[in-house]
Amino acid sequence: MKASLMALALLALACPALAASEDAPRLYAEHCAACHGGDRLGAIGPALLPENLGRLKKAEAEKVIAEGRVATQMPAHGQKLSPEQIKALAEYVFTPLAAVPRWGMEEIKASRIVNVDPASLPAKPQWEADPLNLFTVVETGDHHVTILDGDSLTPLARFQSRFALHGGAKYSPDGRFVYLASRDGWITKYDLYTLQIVAEIRAGVNTRNVAVSHDGRFLMVGNMLPHTLVALDARDLSPIQVIPVVGDKGASSRVSAVYTAPPRASFIVALKDLTELWEIPYADDAGPVLNGFVHSYEKGHEEGIGPDGRFKALRITIPDYLDDFFFDATYERAMGASRDGMKGLVVDLDIKRKVAEIDLPGMPHLGSGIIFRKDGRDFMATPHLKEAVISIIDMSTWKTVKRIPTLGPGFFMRGHETSPYAWIDVSMGKDKDAIQIIDLTAMEIVKTLRPAQGRTTAHAEFDRWGKTVLISVMEAEGELIAFDAASFEIKARLPMKRPVGKYNVFNKIHYSGGTSH
């Protein structure tokens, strides 16, 4: 024993990297735990888990440890730690935890912060602007959110957000409140009328996204860690129920996405590790309806899931795992992107099974797709994360009617009921500074813009009238560029810190076919 310890010590002397990696938990406890939590689940700093670090590369993590992060409380450690120690720490935070951390009702409840009694809020906006033409702009560069007046293109407010907000901001049905989700599981409720945070709660350790019921009463949070869905009361974010995401054979799963299906009064949930799509009804009469429904189907195919409580889920067995999905205009069908990235599945939510396959290679980012009407029919258009193409699918036949070649693979796509054009980015390819505009009638690209040469430019969003389009220059010292939607001329440039997404109140609360929900 003594000999092997001695050998290790000698080896460590000869190899500082080995010494540092052996020491990583101690280094973490000494330099990181106070802010990021001894369990790496986050405290005043974000959680340091591979799932939460998302697209951050190890080399970037090393740079942050060495140099700190501007405009945050993250200090530089380059003077205190050797390069080997910094490397070991980066390696350590990218190591998955040995066991899924507990984050149940007790922990969720204890995390809730209520800043304002929602009942005490004034009935009217405390500022002059069109409340339905506001944009919520998420700036991940310094973890802030800007509330922008969509008419004057001037900010009404800017506030610090939780670390790494991700996914679309969601609004209450009247457009008054905005709900934001961070990758760390924090859900924030912000009042646009008084420009203040109403309440916050940590619903998970690593959250995928949040949906708001169309009647504004509930929020459903989909988590990756732990494997749960968490229902919240939209008024003050008090937790109602934690639903374990467990399949009929007992295996649990991460949530791929949860979205609201308004005409069904239900949440629809796709899962990363189970070949099931879940529907969770939230109408007051859902209980009895659900029970009747459950018994009318064969056990194992569909049944109520979860502990007793207000919400129960129905499962639909499907042939593949879904990473992302999208609805048709009636919300009777969900189109999902399959794991192999080769095809899309169409699942009929009423007859509860897959009804068609769509020829969709190249990992479509379906949540970013749009629906538009042409010749009296609905078409769906979607970008692909791995292919330089936009696919257009006739939603009555599920046939791909056109593949429009683009300058590169892209993330996002946007249209608007009043505009003949859709705007796409090609930010996953080498022409990451280009924005391309598609004429939806001709189904072809009519214009390529490069408003900020050499800089990553992505994510369009129309204003409520379809007259202005906002685009992000997604760089640390980035900007929001406002274009005239018809002439494609620049109307304004607003400096921002890596603005990622922007969400127009009117378009979201009216479930515009041209934007995400």
* Residue numbers at the binding site for ligand DHE (CB under 6 A): 54-55, 140, 166-168, 209, 257, 324, 367, 411, 459, 500-501, 516
Please, what is the minimum distance in Å from the beta carbon of residue 374 to ligand DHE? 23
- Whole-number minimum distance, CB 500 to ligand DHE, in Å? 4
Which CB sits closer to ligand DHE, 30 or 60? 60
CB 517 within 8 A of CB 503: no
One-letter amino acid at 253 equals S
| Token digits of residue 290 | 């659900």
| Residue among 38, 139, 116 nearest 480 (CA) | 139
Q: Which is nearer to ligand DHE, 85 or 516 (CB)?
A: 516
Taking the least distance from each CB to ligand DHE, the nearer of 369 and 420 is 369
Q: By C-beta, is 88 or 485 nearer to ligand DHE? A: 485
Name the minimum Å distance from CB 208 to ligand DHE.
Answer: 6
Q: How near is the Cβ of 257 to ligand DHE at its closest, in Å?
A: 4
Mode of pairing for the β-strands spanning 499-504 and 490-496: unpaired
Nearer to ligand DHE, 54 or 104 (CB): 54
Give residues with Cβ within 8 angstroms of 494, minimum separation 6.
148, 153, 155, 479, 480, 481, 482
Cβ atoms of residues 150 and 211 within 8 Å: no
Between the CA of residue 264 and those of 167, 386, 512, what are the distances in Å? 23, 33, 17
- Find out whether 161 and 186 touch, Cβ atoms under 8 Å: no
Smallest gap, in angstroms, from Cβ of residue 421 to ligand DHE? 17
- 305 DSSP 8-state letter: B
In the complex, what is the shortest distance from the CB of residue 54 to ligand DHE, in angstroms, rounded to a whole number? 4
CB-based contact 288:297 (threshold 8 Å): no
Q: Which is nearer to ligand DHE, 171 or 293 (CB)?
A: 171
Annotate 14-52 with b (16+ C-beta within 10 A) or e (fewer): eeeeebbbebbeebbeebbbeebbeebbbeebbbbbebb
Query: Do the beta carbons of residue 192 and residue 176 sit within 8 Å?
Result: yes
Task: State in angstroms the smallest separation of the CB of 440 from ligand DHE.
Answer: 18
Nearer to ligand DHE, 139 or 200 (CB): 139
Decide whether 281 or 409 has the Cβ nearer to ligand DHE. 409
- Cβ(177)–Cβ(188) below 8 Å: no
